[in-house]
Amino acid sequence: MEALMKNIWRIIPVLLLSVAMAGCSDDDDTTSSFFELSSTDLECNSNNVIDVVVPIEGQTYKLTVKSSVDVIWTTKLEGGSWIVATPVTKQSGDGEILIVASSNPTNIKNRVATVTIRNSVNDEIYRYAFTQSYDPNQMAQKEELYAYIHYNEDRYNKEELIYTTSINKVEGNVSISSLGQEELDKYNEDNLTLYKLLPTDCYTLPNSISFDGEVSALLDIKFNKKTGDLSTSEEYMLPIIVSVDDRKAELIWLVVNIYDRNISRSVKQFDFYNANQDITTLLTINKEEGEVTLSAFTEEELNAHNSLYGTSYMSIPEDYIVMPASVDFDDSDLSKDVKITFKKEVGELDEDKEYVWGIRVYVDGFPVSEIFMKPRIATPVVTMESKEYKHILILDQGEKKASYGFNLSLDVINQWEFTVEFEENETALKAAVDKYNADKGTSYTLLPKGNCVLSSSEFTQEDNEKLVTATLSGDGLTLDKDYLYPIIPIGCGNSPFEVKEKITYVHVIMETKVESISDLRSINLEANMLKASATDGGNNVGNLLAYNNYWQSIWSPNGGKNDPKIDPVYGVYLDIDFSNKPLSQAFSFNYLPRNWPNAVPNEIVVYAGTSNDDLKKIGELKYEDNQLPFADKTWIGRVSEEDLSKLSLYSLKESGATLLRLSFISSRDKTYSNNSVKNILGYDYTKWNNSGDYPCVALQQLKIYGK
């Protein structure tokens, strides 16, 4: 048959390919990458597990690999030392696999092993299940393996571990005992092994066993903690003989391997937002040889952990968690992601405490790792991004409407849909207005609720910010009357999200449009409304309210010892505070120079805003262009009586100005025939030479007009 196949190979290559595919290979890949397995000793079929019975005298099996060099293939052996499979490392290209099964001279029963062959080009898996024959007419013998786990932390070591095996029923008085060194030496010689005899003080055997009418019985072998003191680099053997009366009925060769094990510990933190919904998180469990189970820490175990490691963990209630009891792995798995569900009630736990869900991972009943699932419990917070105060002007024309936009923001990445709700209770709104008036010394009236309409404040899952527009209506309002509407976010409906406590007070006033200076009203100034960047001696800004005195900025730095108060941006300036009555449209001003004209304003820049941080330039005055006064008792326009038509109208860029700044950039000396200009802005006071040329400015009276 073999010669015939060779002839077919020489004559019909295509037929050879068909035979190879049907007989010893399941590889249908027609590309350059391929893997083929053939053998005259074993069947090559990746669809089923191939059962192989090894004769009692042992046997060698050979498989041939034909493979492209880019394909990786592996051979894996699982089972006892009676069988060897090579090569044991990853291979590529052509090669040979040898499986050598030893003889069974001691008539061991139930010898089994599995060889698995895989490759990287396809999903084909070749699996061979080997069992070895024994002589049932001789005394039954069997080899078994027991792994004794010893923990470096003694608290995990039990006083006694039990290994259970079974023996067949025999008639008579049954006794159990262990064999000695002589019998083990003979076993090592026959099987080419180097086992050491397990010390007798490491275990306990029962004296006898009862079958109670069953065809077999369980034999419990007890190992004490001394077993853990043995070397992990040696293999030990416990030979056990089952005798009936004076006859040896069964022999058990129990291999005992000692393994030192540390418990690995880890903390997995994750965000748990109090959003009225369950959260499922994934926990990666590595594959182990054996049954993998999961167990939750008891309250006592968690307390013991806290005492040992100095933590202050608190256990999440058991009914808040859904967790599988075991983990099932597929053959190809190296690990598996396990779903653990934390119910929505977790979000209601105290955020200031360390709540954990402690998990212990077991393999065949032995703990291998401890994992603490630690949720960072947090309630998402919505914040209204808006100033505390906003001035809104409504003009008494057209639709009589104005609008104001502000943002709502969520402090975490949004995954939910919710709506922010605002206060609508009139009693609560009025209480907020009353408090504002009491704190600020104002007397504003609550804007009717219907005159402020807010746009949608609904968040979708795509929104982390939401622009809300407040539309203010002038319908029914009294001209020039001050109204106040408090915008107060109070919650998020059915969502447990928090809303940061904040109120934006919208100050609403309806006015006719300012077209000219004549539309402005004279504003009664008070001393506490005025502030100067620099004042010389007693010539303070309060003097500007009376005709018979004056304000003057610093004119002498006293030999350079004192700060001359010249601002690098504004030079010397006067501030007028309108916090109690903000300006909404425009303003103007007029002044008298001091009767001694050696420091009259030469250039004035006008700013408006709500604070020093947001001042905006809205105009400027120059000595010649604007006919600035210099003679005693003259106003702007160089007239002896005020003429409002000579004044400039300064329109605000935004309503609600609470700060006006008159910035004096330079001054002029108009004494006698003098007409010299002194630059205030940028002046280096260290060069002052006592000659009286230090730049300053002086005014006798100031008037403000505004609306």
pTM to 2 decimal places: 0.61
Could you tell me which CATH class the domain 517-706 is placed in?
A: mainly beta
pLDDT in tens, 475-492: 999 999 999 999 999 999
Cα(698)–Cα(650) distance, integer angstroms: 23
Angle at 408 between CA 578 and CA 616, to 5 degrees: 30
CATH architecture designation of domain 140-260 = Sandwich (2.60)
Residues 6 or more apart whose Cβ sits within 8 Å of residue 658: 577, 578, 579, 582, 583, 609, 610, 611
The whole-number pLDDT of residue 172 equals: 81
Q: Provide the residue type at 25 as one letter.
A: S
Assigned token pair, 563: 């700060």
Assigned token pair, 372: 């603490």
Assigned token pair, 101: 């099964």
Q: Are 678 and 691 in contact (CB under 8 A)?
A: no
Q: Are 324 and 338 in contact (CB under 8 A)?
A: yes
For 28, 75, 118, 329, 641, the CA distances from 286, given in Å and listed in that order, are: 34, 22, 21, 9, 95
Ranges of the chain whose pLDDT falls below 50: 1-30
The whole-number pLDDT of residue 26 equals: 45
Of 645, 666, 599, nearest to 637 by C-alpha is 645
What is the DSSP code (8-state) at residue 626? T
Q: Are 169 and 214 in contact (CB under 8 A)?
A: yes
Helix axes 2-11, 13-23, angle to 10 degrees: 130
Cα(474)–Cα(454) distance, integer angstroms: 15
The whole-number pLDDT of residue 9 equals: 40
Matching residue, tokens 């690990």: 335
At the topology level, CATH places domain 263-378 in Immunoglobulin-like (2.60.40)
Helix (H, G, I), strand (E, B) or coil at 458: strand
Classify the C-alpha dihedral 530-535-539-544 as positive or negative. negative
Assigned token pair, 64: 């041939």
Classify the C-alpha dihedral 568-569-571-574 as positive or negative. negative
CATH homologous superfamily for 381-511?
Answer: hypothetical protein (bacova_03559) (2.60.40.1740)
The whole-number pLDDT of residue 31 equals: 56
Of 140, 399, 143, 114, nearest to 248 by C-alpha is 140
Q: Largest Cα–Cα distance of the chain, in whole Å? A: 146
Q: Do domains 2-132 and 140-260 have the same CATH topology?
A: yes
Domain residue ranges of the chain, discontinuous segments joined by +: 2-132, 140-260, 263-378, 381-511, 517-706
| Strand (E) or helix (H) holding 14 | helix 13-23
| Strand (E) or helix (H) holding 18 | helix 13-23
CATH architecture designation of domain 2-132 = Sandwich (2.60)
